[in-house]
Amino acid sequence: MKKSDCAPRLLATLFQFLLLICSASADEPLSADAILDRPPSFRVESVRVRYSHFEQMGIGYQSQAGPARGPGSESLTVEQPQLEIVAKQGKRTTHRLWIPLDVVTAASPDAVDRLHGVDTISHASRINEGGSVDLTTQYRADRETSLFLRGNYHMEEQFRSWALGAGMARSLAEDNAVVVASVYQVYDWFDSFLTNGLRVGHASRSTSNGNLGLTQLLSPTTVAHVNYGVTLQVGELGNTWNSVPLLEGGRSQEHLPTLRHRHAFVARLAQWLPWQGALKAFYRFYLDDWGILAHTWESELYQRMGPRAYLRLNYRFHQQTGADFFTTLSQTSAGLQTADSDLAPLSAHTFGIMTAIDFPLKHIAGHLDIGLERYLRSNGLHASIVSCSLGLRF
Amino acid sequence: IVPQNRRARLADPIMSFDSDALETYRKSKFYSSREGAA
């Protein structure tokens, strides 16, 4: 593919949406709606922006940015701005427009370019820009039932993706319980490369997903949530330029199965604490047919510092077995094999702190937060994350 | 189980599971790009 004009297209789409909002919500001072006290047909409820910055250092045997037998560098930085606009149309319909962007500067794909004199990932070689436009429309059919549709388009320089989803939420027992069911279908289409960086055409993959969740009030201070998600992936399931060090020297192409069944079961609990705080617990059990079995625990402790500010401390622990075909040194270039450090047996810790303040303006409720996190993985990868957010509710 | 008039604590944003979808996305994408589970 040619170098995309990703950012201008996304901005144009956003601009068109904002024009639609502005034109639809411009009330005349003495319009019929104002006189009859009817709600405006289209009204922006909230706008939120978030900016995150990741700095990652680490090594992985799939990377060619290092010795021939690896491991190579997995150093990268990510700049990730996001925009979310929620608008109400009439009494029953809510639209959510969400635009995340990612600018990734990575050593691993860049090494393919430098070693072989080709341009795998971009004209700028080291920088890959990606972005999405995601629109979810929710329709409240009655007091207990909501339906939603979701569409998403994602683009990177060598990658395109389309997604469609639909779901339903049903409230029971005076909102004591809410059941949500949803399905998603994603289709990815992208350039395919050899490990020497030569492009050999296009590849694709399909991702089909179903989810069933239940949120239940357990007491005036306790909420629980459980969710099961199943995902079926078919097609090219790698990025195509990952490599595997060979015992005889040199490197082989990564070979992954073309089918993957993935199951995730999640349980959450939120408990209000008498000293104006809250404790949240999260557990996920994950299993797939590549041989990965994972447990993830996370806890968040919130403490209010007055009516408008609060502090959050969080800790997360993740542990997984490796894929059946994971290796850091292969005897042959045939058969299933990967050296991707993400698919290795590993454990990881995350420590974080965040502070937030809610502030009233004239007719607007504002929110501001900033957080820091540190991620430490057992196989030589670590990352630092800074993230801040500003939200306005009208 | 919990009548409408006894949900003041539950309405506090710090008790919500999904009050910030942008933060949820940041974490979800970060971890799914670095771990085999998602």
CA A21 → CA A24, A96, A209, A212, distances in Å? 5, 12, 32, 33
Contact list, A184 vs chain B (CB under 8 Å): none
Q: How far apart are CA A255 and CA A99, in angstroms?
A: 33
pLDDT of the residue at A180: 93
Q: Please name the residues in contact with A159: beta carbons below 8 A apart, sequence gap of 6 or more.
A: A130, A188, A189, A190, A191
Tens of pLDDT, residue by residue over A188-198, are 989 888 777 77
**Residue A299 tokens, joined:** 């806890």
Interface test with B, best of A176, A232, A285 (most B CBs within 10 A): A176
- CB contact under 8 Å between A342 and B34, yes or no, is yes
pLDDT of the residue at A176: 87
Tens of pLDDT, residue by residue over A258-288, are 999 899 989 989 998 998 899 999 999 999 9
**Residue A360 tokens, joined:** 């009233």
- CB contact under 8 Å between A278 and B12, yes or no, is yes
Q: Provide CATH code, domain A6-393.
A: 2.40.160
Residue A382, chain B, CB below 8 Å: the answer is: no
pLDDT for B13 beyond 70: yes
Q: Please name the residues in contact with A7: beta carbons below 8 A apart, sequence gap of 6 or more.
A: A101, A129, A131
* Of A386, A393, A388, nearest in space to A359 by CA: A393
Question: Which H or E run includes A333?
Answer: none
Min Cα–Cα distance to chain B from A170, Å: 17
pLDDT for A257 beyond 80: yes
CA A148 → CA A189, A229, A393, distances in Å? 26, 18, 22
pLDDT for A123 beyond 50: no
Compute chain A's Rg from CA coordinates.
24
**Residue A51 tokens, joined:** 């900016």
pLDDT of the residue at A15: 44
pLDDT of the residue at A120: 46
Mean per-residue pLDDT over chain A, rounded: 84
Q: Are A351 and A18 in contact (CB under 8 A)?
A: no
Contact list, A387 vs chain B (CB under 8 Å): 23, 26
Chain A, residues 274-303, CB within 8 A of chain B, namely 277-278, 280, 284, 286, 288, 290, 292, 294, 296, 302
Q: How far apart are CA A286 and CA A266, in angstroms?
A: 9
Tens of pLDDT, residue by residue over A340-389, are 888 999 999 999 999 998 999 777 899 999 999 999 999 888 899 999 99
Q: Are A215 and A198 in contact (CB under 8 A)?
A: no
Q: Are A101 and A130 in contact (CB under 8 A)?
A: yes
Q: How far apart are CA A311 and CA A370, in angstroms?
A: 10
Region A145-172: mean pLDDT is 91
Neighbours of A307 (CB within 10 A): 8
Number of H helices, E strands in chain A: 3, 19
Q: How far apart are CA A219 and CA B9, in angstroms?
A: 10
Say which of B2, B23, B35 has its CB closest to residue A50.
B23
Contact list, B35 vs chain A (CB under 8 Å): 294, 318, 320, 342, 346, 348
Min Cα–Cα distance to chain A from B13, Å: 10
- CB contact under 8 Å between A262 and B26, yes or no, is no
Q: Please name the residues in contact with A78: beta carbons below 8 A apart, sequence gap of 6 or more.
A: A52, A53, A54, A56, A102, A103, A104, A105
pLDDT of the residue at A330: 85
Beta bridge partner(s), residue A43: A88
Neighbours of A141 (CB within 10 A): 11
Q: How far apart are CA A83 and CA A103, in angstroms?
A: 15
Question: Which H or E run includes A116?
Answer: helix A107-116
Min Cα–Cα distance to chain B from A203, Å: 20
Confidence band of A16 (pLDDT split at 50, 70, 90): low
